[in-house]
């Protein structure tokens, strides 16, 4: 993994890309960014400024460009755009994806790998999930505000040691990364956390802390949790037996004013990850002949707001 390309230099891609670029500057491990607009311009001129819980610094990638053709094929292509831009991003980034390129999507949903495989069936594609509170605060500025910063990734195959090698690269850069042989369970454990939280905070237009402090908010969260667990169980996803209280504890540990990214997107009035985070549960339940009335109700309400 000598050439790593990060596409989507926002909260997630900027945080992990910044750590990688800062650590591996002037080494044989080359870190490239795909960024656009004012963000690309700011990084090109001043580097990527990082404000993190462990310190502030400026990261300088080997190159930043809006054009994948300026960068060429990577050993590892990390896709960090929003799920609603996934297919377009893969199409625009094909110049970075050669026959031997491993693709690692870092998204909130659980269907990114299968969507990528439809476009690039010949490429090795891993699953990944992230616990991180980080935002692109301004062009060229990443600000981390949470107290959890973990990255999990993996696939069902051994890949000749590529996963272990990648874990070492991430950890050398100060990233709390872990290769997980049970990555499907790991991503669904995260999905059981983010899907109800994003759905309810978006519906109530409130921060995570305000949602959990409100009786109605807690009631909605607690109504969604068993529904998403039923979907996971029907898909034969192995989850901890205490997944519901475990998820509730994770939610309670998030800083009060934190917003989910889907809630932030709704506030901006643009595209959101509603289909990946809420609609996916509804569609999966329908295919499995399960009743998820609370998910269906909130999904319809949010669809109407987004139309």
Q: Check which CATH number belongs to the domain holding 267 and give it.
A: 1.10.1040.10
Same domain, 202 and 189: yes
Q: Give yes or no for a contact between 18 and 59, defined as CB atoms under 8 angstroms apart.
A: yes
Q: Is 229 exposed, middle or buried (0-12, 13-18, 19+ CB in 10 A)?
A: middle
Same domain, 20 and 120: yes
Same domain, 13 and 98: yes
Written as six digits, the tokens of 133 are 């509170």
Same domain, 204 and 73: no
How far apart are alpha carbons 103 and 105 in whole angstroms? 6
Same domain, 170 and 277: no
User: In which domain, by residue range, is 264 found?
Assistant: 185-306
Query: Residue written as tokens 């042989």?
Result: 181
Same domain, 73 and 165: yes
Least confident of 140-154, 158-172, 290-304: 158-172
Same domain, 131 and 71: yes
Looking at 181, 209, 225, which one is the last position of a domain?
A: 181
Same domain, 244 and 173: no
> What pLDDT was estimated at residue 189?
94
pLDDT of 284 strictly over 90: yes
Q: At what angle do helices 215-234 and 293-306 cross, to 10 degrees?
A: 110
pLDDT of 159 strictly over 70: no
How many domains does the structure of the chain reveal?
2
> What pLDDT was estimated at residue 1?
65
Looking at 161, 181, 201, which one is the last position of a domain?
A: 181
Number of Cβ within a 10 Å radius of residue 153: 24
How far apart are alpha carbons 80 and 18 in whole angstroms? 13
Give the mean pLDDT of 280-305. Answer: 96
Q: Give yes or no for a contact between 107 and 101, defined as CB atoms under 8 angstroms apart.
A: no
CATH code of the domain containing 121: 3.40.50.720
Q: What is the pLDDT of residues 108-134, one digit of tens each?
A: 889 999 999 999 999 999 999 999 989
Q: What is the pLDDT of residues 196-209, one digit of tens each?
A: 999 999 999 999 99
Q: What is the pLDDT of residues 39-97, one digit of tens each?
A: 999 999 999 999 998 899 999 999 999 999 999 999 999 999 988 999 999 999 999 99
Same domain, 173 and 31: yes
Written as six digits, the tokens of 39 are 């963000």
> What pLDDT was estimated at residue 181?
83
Looking at 181, 207, 242, which one is the last position of a domain?
A: 181
């Amino acid at each position: 993994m000598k050439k790593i390309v990060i596409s989507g230099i926002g909260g997630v891609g900027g945080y992990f890309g910044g750590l990688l670029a800062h650590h591996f500057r002037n080494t044989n491990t080359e870190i490239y960014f795909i960024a656009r607009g004012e963000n690309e311009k700011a990084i090109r001129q001043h580097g990527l400024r990082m404000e993190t819980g462990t310190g502030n610094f400026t990261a300088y990638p080997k190159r930043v460009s809006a054009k994948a053709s300026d960068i060429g094929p990577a050993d590892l292509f990390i896709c960090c755009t929003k799920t609603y831009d996934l297919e377009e991003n893969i199409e625009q980034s094909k110049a970075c994806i050669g026959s031997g390129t491993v693709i690692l999507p870092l998204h909130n949903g659980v269907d990114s790998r299968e969507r990528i495989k439809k476009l690039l069936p010949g490429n090795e594609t891993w699953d990944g999930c992230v616990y991180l509170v980080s935002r692109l605060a301004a062009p060229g500025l990443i600000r981390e505000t949470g107290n959890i910063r973990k990255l999990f990734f993996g696939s069902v195959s051994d890949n000749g040691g590529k996963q272990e090698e990648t874990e070492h690269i991430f950890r050398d850069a100060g990233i709390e990364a872990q290769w997980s042989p049970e990555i499907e369970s790991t991503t669904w454990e995260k999905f059981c956390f983010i899907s109800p939280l994003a759905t309810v905070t978006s519906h109530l237009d409130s921060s995570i802390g305000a949602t959990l402090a409100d009786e109605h908010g807690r009631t909605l969260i607690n109504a969604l949790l068993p529904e998403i667990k039923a979907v996971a169980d029907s898909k034969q996803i192995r989850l901890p037996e205490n997944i519901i209280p475990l998820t509730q504890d994770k939610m309670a540990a998030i800083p009060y004013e934190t917003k989910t990214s889907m809630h932030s997107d709704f506030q901006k009035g643009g595209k959101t990850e509603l289909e990946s985070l809420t609609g996916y549960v509804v569609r999966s339940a329908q295919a499995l002949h399960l009743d998820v009335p609370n998910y269906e109700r909130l999904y319809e309400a949010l669809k109407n707001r987004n139309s």
